[in-house]
Amino acid sequence: MKKRILILTAGFGEGHNSAARGVRDGLALVAPAGADIELRDLFPETYGALNEIVRRAYLAVINR
């Protein structure tokens, strides 16, 4: 059976995405051959259009 690995991230700044990509790339080196590694941003899938409002508010707060 093919291994499946799911990595969830939050697109609320590049730090989360960069860390998730690093985990994905590291797993690609050590995971069994043919493993399916999927990287997903949980927030747009969960909150839809509201995600963009929350993301912009978050970024405005951390930039001040």
Place of tokens 């409002």: 53
Helix (H) or strand (E) holding 30: helix 14-30
Q: How does strand 36-41 pair with strand 4-9?
A: parallel
Q: Give the pLDDT of residue 24.
A: 94
pLDDT of residue 7: 96
pTM: 0.75
Q: What is the pLDDT of residue 15?
A: 87
Q: Could you list the pLDDT tens digit for every one of the 64 residues in the chain?
A: 788 999 999 887 788 889 999 999 999 999 888 789 999 998 888 888 898 898 888 889 988 8
